[in-house]
Structure 1
């Protein structure tokens, strides 16, 4: 009888129809904003294609303690893979280490954590390429001796901090006469209304200001609203990172001439494909086939979506996310 049951169990695991469905938890920095809504759309598209049980959830504010509590809950529920965009990589690290010790695969996406706390990072574009594209857009907007400020979402967001570091490095090499008017970036706390208020304060406090980088998906529309309401778009050039749907109005009326991003739908989609491959032991350095995205490059423990995109009045209507 034991031999029969063992054979039956092996058969059930070997036959696709009987295979255990993968359970993946995917967590954004926060829910309810256009950027992460687009990531969710792509993730659910991939999960449907692959027959994966996907749970999408996250805090409704930029709150790492809520992220930690959710990761702990997913550990208790024995998820196969946890894919997280960490708000604070240091604060979330103990929970991610715990997940890995319990045999759960861990992926970071959009923003990374310490390499020893996760298996792979799904990167939307290289940090250098994002920084270079942003600085080149700003240099064309304010000139190579212009003065600018940076508006970020959080001082603990790893991706934003690395982008700013790469921007400064590239500025020194390519645009040494451009000036950042504040070594400490201005902070919006991933809140669009706060981004508007902070931008208005910048306009008042820095009369020499010529350009603003708003480098989160809610900071850029918030800053654009401030320029629009204060008729400041002609004297201050604004660019940054956000979604076409969040910025369409401001691009079309000329408040913002150009902005930068990648395709967040594709980022969510790729994350789920990579998570499945990781869970099955098939995610290795080289190239992988990721559904409709085709071949995607894997370097070390990083899976790279592609290159950043520049959006303007001529192409923004080609995108719906």
Structure 2
């Protein structure tokens, strides 16, 4: 039987935010969840009406040069360096797009809002973003739409009506299944685990955590979720938080799930320095280059991710399609250069694809 406390806390993602705040396993949102089948049977994609926003009096940009700014959660880390490269690659391939990446050096929503606001004032044709907070970022994105600017999100969504489209790297329940299945395989079906995330309000991570809880309750009911801690996508804080978890729970802790490309390698380093490789599994979302040292030393068995270069590349192609009018509400797919046709899901989201699991056998084939 699933531990009663876990079942209570998860509530299959239907509990209120207040209930999460009163428990140790904070970090998930309170939206309904849709856990995938335990045997991997694909879920049917439900058709939903377009729920994105629309720019006001946008000029005719079809085939015309575009000036685009990309404002991710923060700059200067490997993950967003990779998405930025994808955006730049797509812009060069399209040939009529000038794109730059700019943003805060910390995952700070207030600073991110200021950067976007400044670019609205200075004037751009399009804004790409990865939100630090889905609600807080919405007003400035709506301001951009009101100014006739095309707005497309990727990696971390805003409220849907604050942007036109969102490029989803993988469906949230797909990430959840890959993470929890890997944890159970490596740590055992009755393992106790903890999570290191960035913040409890970061939209994609909150969604993943909620879906992970629902999937664990359905398919791995004897897993015990100890705690979720925030680390602000900071390397030192992530290491310290993982170390605190190791010291706090001792031999009870059998797994750490890293929800960011910073938290996962930092957690692996904490496990390494604690001499716990082999007794504490580290499973998480990270770039392969950051995890190669730990995978090669067998301290980490699996890393879950997608190709962030492809994610940025797809986002740039989506923005170009929106500006050209070839991607409109009601579309079921969009052409994205070398990636081919990408499917529209959930009304106004573009799906990059299924998550990928990097292991010792394949991680050397990737360089980002």
What range describes the TM-score normalised by the shorter chain of this pair?
A: over 0.9
Q: After superposition, where does 1:159-174 map in structure 2 within 5 Å?
A: 159-174=204-219
TM-score scaled to structure 2, two decimals?
0.81
Alignment correspondent of 1:309: 356
**Deviation at residue 239 of structure 1 after TM alignment:** 0.5
Which of 319, 322, 325 is residue 275 of structure 1 equivalent to?
319
Which of 224, 230, 254 is residue 268 of structure 2 equivalent to?
224
Alignment correspondent of 1:8: none
Alignment correspondent of 2:343: 297
Distance 2:315 2:64 in 1: 20
Structure 1 gaps, min length 5: 1-12
More helix by share: 1
Q: Secondary structure at the match of 1:249?
A: helix
Instruction: Please identify, of 202-211 and 291-300, the stretch whose mean Cα deviation from structure 2 is larger.
Output: 291-300
**Deviation at residue 298 of structure 1 after TM alignment:** 1.6
Q: After superposition, where does 1:11-30 map in structure 2 within 5 Å?
A: 20-30=64-74
Larger RCO, structure (CA 8 Å, separation 6 or more): 2
Distance 1:295 1:272 in 2: 14
**Deviation at residue 281 of structure 1 after TM alignment:** 1.1
**Deviation at residue 211 of structure 1 after TM alignment:** 0.6
Distance 2:151 2:82 in 1: 22
1:120 pairs with 2:141: no
Distance 1:197 1:53 in 2: 40
Alignment correspondent of 1:191: 234
Q: After superposition, where does 1:55-70 map in structure 2 within 5 Å?
A: 55-70=100-115
**Deviation at residue 154 of structure 1 after TM alignment:** 1.2
Alignment correspondent of 2:32: none
User: 1:194-250 deviations in whole A, cap 9, x for unaligned?
Assistant: 111111111110121111101100000101111111111121111100000111101
Q: Is the 8 A contact 2:83 2:312 kept in 1?
A: yes
In the alignment of these two chains, the number of paired residues is 304
**Deviation at residue 78 of structure 1 after TM alignment:** 2.4
Q: Is the 8 A contact 2:88 2:100 kept in 1?
A: no
**Deviation at residue 77 of structure 1 after TM alignment:** 2.3
Which of 156, 161, 168 is residue 201 of structure 2 equivalent to?
156
Alignment correspondent of 2:86: 42
Structure 2 gaps, min length 5: 1-59
**Deviation at residue 142 of structure 1 after TM alignment:** 1.1
User: 1:23-70 deviations in whole A, cap 9, x for unaligned?
Assistant: 111111111111111111111000001120112111101111111111
**Deviation at residue 101 of structure 1 after TM alignment:** 1.0
1:234 pairs with 2:281: no
Runs of 4 or more, structure 1, over 6 Å off, are: none
